[in-house]
Structure 1
């Protein structure tokens, strides 16, 4: 699939219905997800940082994130969106440049947070947060091709502001032109319903925290347009490393290895999911 076709397909996915966008962390995980039926992929800043042996918060530079995104774009025929934290800078001009570079590497979309990459995850002041989104949207529109700009209000997840403030920010981001709106990890289903009722643009939900108890069908029925997994699949993989190696070294047991996948099956998925 050409890049132009991928960009159009990604745009179309956000126009109706509901889809799951899993988050790979390398070529192998991307190809397995593609082979298993994913319609699009997204990077995960946390999952990428884990592969580099670094913590999540600000653990990846912009250049590294762009190179990683380009690697995933080359791995399959699927459209890819970039999880680019705060846009790798505090100023609107930083967001503009990050969006411009993301388009150059072939991404079909990007998400930008309203939170600073510092300990404590302090949110940007409201007016600056909105201006940053407006700048990113303007840069996205300059591509003259489909590009989904996702605006995130992360303060609810970090406990730095409440749901009412998160919704106020989403409404302002919507007015600033964002294509997709996102409050990660609201307290539960009732709060997600309030988010959905407060905006008209498509909403992304993260399959984490209390929302993990809901099914795709339930989230779709509520009106969620896109469901991302963030670093959840990578964390599950790292949990398997932790638990299996702990069992080996502390209990002398290899029992956790009983659930490993067949090598031939993995090879087949990698081949099926590779770009043509």
Structure 2
């Protein structure tokens, strides 16, 4: 209960960064470096299984992964659960209940489908899905931050005005946190924040990646997530270092590696040991 209450409280004032690890080791390193909470990433998790993002992981696999992440550190953990692993509102509600049983302190659900092109759910269905998830949260009897995502701007399914309309409806339906990934820029993010009263999550990607934590906080962002960005950075390091070795015969990219002792120390600290 302590970690769930702490996660709820983080969203009530100020602004914090919630990094997205992909396994116990990366979770413990991020905790050891000072993260206040962590979140799963569907894409980063899929990468660990050699699969593509977007529907590459089943609900059972995502829940098992979430349980492992909860056990890795004392920090609150939020789950990236894509579209809730089903179209129907009652499936979203069940996913929320299962997320809570896995020990998560929150989760997010998107309003676009896990098929090619990520088409958006019809407005009324999208709202009913969030209403069902919010009702499941209220029935838990403990803090749980339910994040409603309007992903159509990022996926090209609808424009900013429609994204804002959806966020306002999600807020009215009971969502605790609102999230429109990758608006076109600072001005559009400011419009999103001004359009709702509940806390807003921003993704440090695309045009928003150029803004600092202080700048995002000044706009009114309450939570900053990284999605799969750190995992992609890690995979870029694999690409670049192995290419240098196998194509160019150079081990120069290995000169900046962290020592085993440093990594071990961070993992111990992150595990609370």
Shorter-chain TM-score bucket reads over 0.9
Who is 1:80 aligned against?
A: 77
Verify: 1:92 aligned to 2:89, yes or no: yes
Query: Runs (4+) of structure 1 moved beyond 3 Å?
Result: none
Who is 1:147 aligned against?
A: 144
Written as runs of structure 1 = structure 2, the 5 A alignment for 1:37-76 is 37-76=34-73
Who is 1:224 aligned against?
A: 221
Cα distance in 1, alignment partners of residues 219 and 131 from structure 2: 28
For residues 156-189 of structure 1, give each alpha carbon's deviation from its aligned partner in whole angstroms, at most 9, with x where no partner exists.
Answer: 0011100000000000000001000000011110
Cα distance in 2, alignment partners of residues 144 and 264 from structure 1: 42
TM-score by length of 1: 0.98
Verify: 1:134 aligned to 2:161, yes or no: no
Q: 1:169 aligns with which of 166, 180, 183?
A: 166
Q: CA RMSD in A?
A: 0.6
Cα distance in 2, alignment partners of residues 246 and 139 from structure 1: 48
Q: 2:240 aligns with which of 240, 243, 247?
A: 243
Verify: 1:105 aligned to 2:109, yes or no: no
Total equivalences in the alignment? 273
Cα distance in 2, alignment partners of residues 157 and 250 from structure 1: 36
User: 1:74·1:275 contact (CA, 8 Å) conserved in 2?
Assistant: no
For residues 86-107 of structure 1, give each alpha carbon's deviation from its aligned partner in whole angstroms, at most 9, with x where no partner exists.
Answer: 0000000110110010011110
Who is 2:205 aligned against?
A: 208
Alpha-carbon shift at residue 81 of structure 1 (Å): 0.4
Gaps of 5+ in 2: none
Alpha-carbon shift at residue 259 of structure 1 (Å): 1.2
Verify: 1:120 aligned to 2:117, yes or no: yes
Gaps of 5+ in 1: none
Alpha-carbon shift at residue 275 of structure 1 (Å): 4.2
Cα distance in 1, alignment partners of residues 272 and 3 from structure 2: 12
